[in-house]
Structure 1
């Protein structure tokens, strides 16, 4: 995987948001496979804790939107969640696609490479709002260490307390802070939390922000950028990585830029 102080050969790293959710049902193996094939250097997933304290790869705190089941993840066992259909809501093509556990996703990631021939990375967004999960970051770290994947992941969260706790539990795993609205001083905030990266929403990305982040030795990731025009703009600013639902679009933008 790329290091968080390393420049991409394409000048910007490509992150497949929930795999390639513009092409396949989000956070499923089908989506992650699609993202990898379409040029991602790293994939991004979301995790929640099940009733039996397993990390479930799903965006929402409940299973309704993306499966044929009902209920909140915290009230369901992982075995029950794994039996749910997580693909048919997207299209008939994906009927029978199953929900994943983090350990299963890591097993797959471990064997994959990016289109640049590097080890495929994974950004793990730890969900902890509006529902709070006791020790979710500890459980996630234990899984990552068990799979010996510390060098290939980054933990990110909107809950900055999670970021701080994750870094204190395992200083060698990179962390990043997600934020939707402007922070008074994102660089100071990141440093206070021991974070290695900032993940501002796309509308917050400016050349000044990127330059200041780099002065503070922080990696900058823009999310979620789906339009080609905006991809080009954010790439030109010098952003280190871009997360997108359409890795194929960003792959073309980055590949064309390298050819010039």
Structure 2
């Protein structure tokens, strides 16, 4: 079983040497008979290299070799889905995004639709639903783009994800949580993810163990690790067989992947 979308086409060749591209292709071939290669998510775009959650950061993340982009989604007062981490339209004037019309937002805050239009086919998009009050708007944007199988919607509340699954059968759903918030043990929780129609478990990189990843895979679920900022951390996740890695440093993601392949 393939746990995440396969295909070497996600390994973008922009900004890479022929040798790097060849190595990434070799890595993909390692998984043709089993799991797919992990998705390398640029957290908030390439936020270590450009202003976070901007179109500039997303473009740079792809150029540096990210195979996925991550951002946070909020709804404006007039029902437009936009991307920002903290949800402030203006810190100085203490205005929240949900109290402002989309047309009145600062120019650096992009719409979700702009990100969907920006990415090339096959790129994965992970969206942390900071405001899940209007999922139908988000799902309509995803359907318009034709990218439902490439979008991963993340939320900390499993019941909210269950409601979204009832509305849409194709979009990928991710439960972002921590072991301290899981009752009844990890195995029972992962089984519950499967029964709810949630595709993936997302936890901080430091809490993952190889056995946890294997358990996710046994139930046909993906395992994502976030906040992987150092080479040794990324290599550890690669060794576990994790399905997606989030980092501010896209160059470290791709370097660690190259080193892992050439061991």
Q: What TM-score does the superposition give when structure 2 sets the normalisation length?
A: 0.81
Residue 212 of structure 2 is matched in structure 1 by 209
Residue 79 of structure 1 is matched in structure 2 by 103
Q: Structure 1 residues 5, 101: closer, same or farther in 2, change over 3 A?
A: closer
Quote how far apart the aligned CAs of 1:64 are: 4.0
Residue 54 of structure 1 is matched in structure 2 by 80
CA distance in 2, matches of 1:235, 1:152: 21
Residue 108 of structure 1 is matched in structure 2 by 118
1:257 aligns with 2:257: no
Residue 47 of structure 2 is matched in structure 1 by 21
Look up the SS of the partner of 2:89 in the other structure: coil
Residue 227 of structure 1 is matched in structure 2 by 230
CA distance in 1, matches of 2:6, 2:207: 23
Quote how far apart the aligned CAs of 1:203 are: 1.8
Q: What runs of 5+ residues in structure 2 fail to find an aligned partner?
A: 8-26, 31-36
Quote how far apart the aligned CAs of 1:69 are: 6.3
CA distance in 1, matches of 2:114, 2:218: 38
CA distance in 2, matches of 1:22, 1:189: 36
Look up the SS of the partner of 2:261 in the other structure: helix
1:143 aligns with 2:113: no
CA distance in 2, matches of 1:168, 1:26: 32
Aligned length: 231
5 Å matches for 1:29-178? 29-64=55-90, 70-81=94-105, 84=106, 98-109=108-119, 112=120, 119-128=122-131, 133-134=132-133, 136-178=134-176
Residue 21 of structure 2 is matched in structure 1 by none
Q: What runs of 5+ residues in structure 1 fail to find an aligned partner?
A: 86-97, 114-118
Counting helix residues as a fraction of each chain, which structure ranks higher? Answer: 2
Cα distance per residue 1:138-180 (max 9 Å; x no partner):
1100111122221321111123233112211111111111113
CA distance in 1, matches of 2:49, 2:113: 24
Cα distance per residue 1:36-93 (max 9 Å; x no partner):
111111101110110000001111122346xx76411110010011xx15xxxxxxxx
- Conserved 8 A contact 1:181-1:201: no
Cα distance per residue 1:77-113 (max 9 Å; x no partner):
10011xx15xxxxxxxxxxxx210011111111xx26
CA distance in 1, matches of 2:218, 2:205: 20
CA distance in 2, matches of 1:177, 1:189: 11
CA distance in 1, matches of 2:6, 2:217: 12
- Conserved 8 A contact 1:177-1:197: yes
CA distance in 2, matches of 1:147, 1:234: 31
Look up the SS of the partner of 2:95 in the other structure: coil
Larger mean CA deviation between 214-223 and 187-196 belongs to 187-196
Look up the SS of the partner of 1:63 in the other structure: strand
